[in-house]
Structure formats: structure tokens, C-alpha cells
Amino acid sequence: MVPVLELQDVSFSYQTATGAVPAVDTLSLTIRHGEFVSIVGPSGCGKSTVLRLMAGFLRPQAGAVVDQGTLVTAPDWRRGLVFQQPELYPWLTVEGNVAFGPRMRGLTNAERRDRVQHYLELVQLWDFRHKRPYELSGGMQQRVALARALVNEPHILLMDEPFGALDALTREHMQDELHSIHERTGCTAVLVTHSVEEAVYLSSRCVALTHRPAQIRADIPINLSSSLSKNAGREIKACPEFVSLRETVMDHIWD
Ligand SMILES: Nc1ncnc2c1ncn2[C@@H]1O[C@H](COP(=O)(O)OP(=O)(O)OP(=O)(O)O)[C@@H](O)[C@H]1O
Ligand SMILES: [Mg+2]
């Protein structure tokens, strides 16, 4: 099966007034259908740069980013994006924000209505569809951002610290919600996160990067036993199997 997304020996440097800043160095990574891959690493190591390369916002100076066999040269709605700040359109309602992409793509009114309802229900915001972003909490706004990405039914969802601006309790709640959305939709996802616990909880694979310029330091499969993954988030995170995996990933970041 063709991989959903592939980084092939990708290198990228930012060009600044004081010279080139190498951020990614000959990095290769393959994301397969249905995987949930987390990217962790020290601050400033190049995680966001890797995600922007995957999205097509940046073009590598060497190597290639390939989306289902096609070279990535620009952003595309088929790669859904969620950032740390929800960045919603403040003049549009919740419904208007989620409908924006499908409208731009020319979906019919009926198709658009059905999809928007489906994804707003998925993030439990259908009852808030007539509100404007400023009337919502941070967690709710981030759920709108998630619905706005999912409504296009992207073949890959790219997220950069999507819960980084939330308080600890809301963050845990959002992790549970993302976990259940992933189980229900089976979407392929890449998550950049500072939280190793979040990475182990949500992913099927965790990729640890080196200090800048980013290279892959470790690629760790996260296979929690199936009996464990039936438990709720709080319980899983306290299990010895979970704690041991978290420590393994942590060792790759701190050594
Ligand atoms: N626009 C830019 N111009 C110049 N240098 C940049 C730019 N953006 C990032 N960098 C440099 O590239 C390196 C990688 O940045 P990046 O944002 O990818 O790191 P990160 O791993 O996402 O960091 P954090 O964990 O703090 O979000 C950083 O060390 C930074 O100095
Ligand atoms: Mg970053």
C-alpha cells in the first residue's frame, strides 16, 4: 500500500540575515494509513518545521515530501491542519467556520449541511453552532478548529501542539476526545507535542527527534495491550505498562 505521507531525506534551513539556520537534516519518515504518529523532541529542535514541510508551507532544499505518491509543493485541504491557537474567523459563527472549507471547495448546500452537522456533533458542539468564537472557551474553540480540519475529510490530520494553550484539565479532556475521534474515524494523524504522556496516550508510534537540526533519534512503537486501551484515559496513564513506555520515550529526549 502506498504510504499516506513520506519524507525522503528531507533537509531544510531557514535563511536569516546572519546566515542559514539548519532546522532539519536528511530526515526520512513514512506515515502509513491509519497510523497516529507523535513527534516529540527538545524545544527548538525542528518539530514545527517538520510539520510545516509535511503541510507544504515550506519546501525542502534537499529531499522530497511525497503525499500518496505525489510531490508536495503547496498546502492542500487533503492535509488537515490544527495549530496551537485555533485561529478561527471571528466574524463567522461556529457553523460558518466549519462550513468555510467545504463552501470554498464548492460542495452543494445539502452536502455541506450534512457534513458540518456530522463533525460538529463529533466534537460535541452542534448545540453551539450559532455562537461566535469569542463566546466559547479555549477548549471549545480548539474543538471547532478540529471540526474545521476534519470536515474536509483529509487523508491526514497534521497537528502542532493543538492543546498547548489549554489548562491541564481541559487538555486531558481534549486528549480523550481526540482519542475517541481517532477510534471512530480511523484517520491518519501526526501530532507534534511537548507532552510525552500525551504522545504515548494517543499514538501508535512515537518519533523522537534530536537537537536541531532535527534527525530521527528513535522511532518507538506504542503498543499498549488491548485490555489496557479499553480503559479511560486517567486509568491508562497510571498503569505500569504506560509508565514504562513513557519513561522509554523520555530517555530518548533527555539523554
Ligand atoms: N522563521 C524562522 N526563521 C529563522 N529561524 C527559524 C524560523 N523558525 C524556526 N527557526 C529556527 O529553527 C529551529 C527549529 O524551529 P521549530 O519551530 O521547528 O522548533 P520546534 O521543535 O517546533 O520548537 P518548539 O518545541 O519550541 O515549538 C529553531 O531553533 C529556530 O531557531
Ligand atoms: Mg514548535
Task: For residues 126 and 13, give the distance between their C-alpha atoms in angstroms, rounded to a whole number.
Answer: 43
Helix (H) or strand (E) holding 103: helix 94-104
Domains of the chain: residue spans and CATH: 1-43+54-78+155-255 (3.40.50.300), 87-153 (no CATH)
The secondary structure of 191-208 as a DSSP string is EE-S-HHHHHHH-SEEEE
7 and 26 in contact (C-beta within 8 Å)? no
User: Over the range 136-152, which residues count as b (16 or more CB within 10 Å of their CB) and which as e?
Assistant: bebbbbbbbbbbbbbbb
Averaged pLDDT, 101-113:
93
- Ligand 1 centroid to residue 243 C-alpha, Å: 30
- Ligand 2 centroid to residue 48 C-alpha, Å: 4
Q: What is the pLDDT of residues 51-70, one digit of tens each?
A: 999 999 999 999 999 999 99
Averaged pLDDT, 105-110:
92
Confidence of residue 227 (pLDDT cuts 50, 70, 90): low
Averaged pLDDT, 157-172:
90
Averaged pLDDT, 6-17:
97
pLDDT the model gives residue 90: 96
Q: Whose CA is nearest to atom 5 of ligand 1?
A: 14
Confidence of residue 99 (pLDDT cuts 50, 70, 90): very high
Task: For residues 148 and 82, give the distance between their C-alpha atoms in angstroms, rounded to a whole number.
Answer: 9
For residue 21 the three cell numbers come to 539556520
| CA dihedral sign, ordered 112, 115, 118, 122 | negative
Predicted TM-score (pTM) of the model is 0.93
Confidence of residue 220 (pLDDT cuts 50, 70, 90): very high
Q: Whose CA is nearest to atom 29 of ligand 1?
A: 44
47 ligand 1 Cβ < 6 A: yes
Ligand 1 nearest-atom number relative to CA 41? 21
Averaged pLDDT, 123-151:
94
Beta strands 70-71 and 205-209, pairing class: unpaired
pLDDT the model gives residue 223: 83
26 and 10 in contact (C-beta within 8 Å)? yes
pLDDT the model gives residue 238: 85
Q: What is the pLDDT of residues 144-164, one digit of tens each?
A: 999 999 999 999 999 999 998
Task: For residues 162 and 143, give the distance between their C-alpha atoms in angstroms, rounded to a whole number.
Answer: 10
Task: Return the SS3 of 3.
Answer: coil
User: Which ligand number lies closest to the CA of residue 214?
Assistant: 1
Round the average pLDDT of the chain to a whole number and report it: 92
For residue 239 the three cell numbers come to 498503569
34 ligand 1 Cβ < 6 A: no
Residue found by looking up cell 519524507 in the block = 7
